[in-house]
């Protein structure tokens, strides 16, 4: 949006104007409402946390399939929803049936394509259906596995919520730091062909914010990490999360849309809000699984 000529664009006033025009107020409102809900549900765990993740997976997968439809593909949505939720359900119970679900899903989706009247784009229809299950369903299920990891290993349940809190804190700090830094001082484009508004300055601000989040977490609740380890893990999570953000931007750019859906004020859709978490969650889960817990 072009600023009014009489508005000063330099200094503090210019920065505030840019933040307001970039949607800072609705972003803050969503954070103030969403963070307490996430905290309470994660702390409760069990079926309640599974239901929260399932809602994110279901809405995110729906948005993904809508993006693919805009591109001209025809994914098998019902099969995709069922398979993605089945994966998260078995992840909740730390079940061994996930490979069976993935194998069966792939075979059923390929066989289902035989009944389509127009088979000329069979490869594309199958590919986007399976990719949606893996991208949203499988990656998202790692949040459930992370929450249930301590219980599966005989460790007290509260540690599972701490792992999720740590992950969410790093992602939230990274997104907020990148956003504020990019709006305030961003000048050099990070990936103009994929996401024209993202800047190198914003990315660096996100990295610093992620490292700070990891350091703060070790003083608040993450006593399973040293401050240095927390900072380095936060820095890593910030880098991975921003790559995940760019991946989702690449998909939207290919389709020709700005947001995956106008669902969350100031954020876009579920995928726009949780794209970083879909990448950071699995990386942190395997780190916690093999090196911490």
Assign 197 to helix, strand or coil.
strand
Dist CA 84 CA 75 (whole Å): 14
Over 50: is that where the pLDDT of 278 sits? yes
Average pLDDT, the chain: 86
Residue 5 pLDDT level (bands cut at 50, 70, 90)? very low
pLDDT for 6: 41
Q: Where in the chain are the domains?
A: 23-292
Over 50: is that where the pLDDT of 160 sits? yes
pLDDT for 2: 36
pLDDT for 41: 94
Over 70: is that where the pLDDT of 264 sits? no
Tell me if the pTM is above 0.95. Answer: no
Average pLDDT over residues 81-86: 93
Single out the residue of 168, 73, 79, 51 nearest to residue 122, CA to CA: 73
71 to each of 16, 75, 130, 171, how far by Cα in Å?
37, 11, 16, 29
Over 70: is that where the pLDDT of 122 sits? yes
Dist CA 90 CA 102 (whole Å): 12
The burial class, CB within 10 Å (0-12 / 13-18 / 19+), for 107 is exposed
Over 90: is that where the pLDDT of 292 sits? no
pLDDT for 198: 92
Residue 138 pLDDT level (bands cut at 50, 70, 90)? very high
Each residue of 196-228: pLDDT tens digit? Answer: 889 999 999 999 999 999 999 999 999 999 999
pLDDT for 183: 86
pLDDT for 103: 85
Sign of CA dihedral 16, 18, 20, 22: negative
Average pLDDT over residues 286-291: 93
Tokens of 208: 């610093």
pLDDT for 23: 57
pLDDT for 262: 60
pLDDT for 49: 95
Residue 259 pLDDT level (bands cut at 50, 70, 90)? low
Each residue of 20-73: pLDDT tens digit? Answer: 555 566 666 666 777 788 889 999 999 999 999 999 999 999 999 999 999 999
203 to each of 21, 200, 238, 250, 280, how far by Cα in Å?
20, 5, 9, 16, 15
Rg, Å, the chain Cα set: 20
């Amino acid at each position: 949006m072009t600023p009014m000529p009489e508005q000063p664009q330099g200094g503090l006033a210019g920065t505030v104007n840019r933040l307001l025009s970039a949607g800072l107020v609705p972003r803050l409102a969503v954070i103030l409402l969403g963070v307490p809900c996430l905290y309470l549900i994660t702390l409760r765990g069990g079926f309640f946390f599974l239901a929260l993740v399932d809602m994110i997976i279901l809405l995110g997968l729906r948005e993904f399939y809508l993006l693919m439809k805009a591109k001209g593909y025809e994914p098998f949505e019902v099969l995709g929803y069922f398979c993605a939720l089945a994966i998260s359900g078995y992840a909740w119970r730390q079940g061994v049936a996930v490979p069976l679900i993935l194998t069966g899903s792939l075979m059923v989706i390929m066989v289902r394509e035989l009944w389509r009247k127009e088979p000329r784009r069979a490869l594309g229809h199958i590919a986007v259906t399976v990719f949606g299950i893996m991208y949203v369903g499988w990656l998202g299920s790692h949040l459930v596995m992370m929450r249930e990891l301590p219980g599966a290993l005989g460790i007290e349940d509260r540690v599972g919520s701490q792992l999720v809190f740590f992950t969410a804190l790093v992602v939230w700090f990274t997104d907020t730091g990148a956003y504020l830094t990019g709006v305030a001082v961003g000048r050099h484009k990070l990936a103009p062909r994929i996401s024209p508004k993202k800047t190198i300055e914003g990315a660096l601000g996100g990295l610093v914010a992620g490292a700070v989040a990891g350091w703060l977490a070790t003083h608040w609740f993450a006593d399973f990490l040293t401050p240095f380890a927390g900072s380095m893990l936060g820095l890593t999570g910030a880098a991975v999360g921003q790559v995940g953000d760019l991946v989702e931007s690449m998909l939207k750019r290919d389709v020709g849309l700005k947001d995956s859906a106008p669902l969350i004020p100031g954020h876009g859709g579920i995928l726009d809000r949780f794209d970083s978490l879909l990448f950071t969650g699995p990386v942190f889960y395997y780190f916690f699984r093999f090196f911490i817990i």
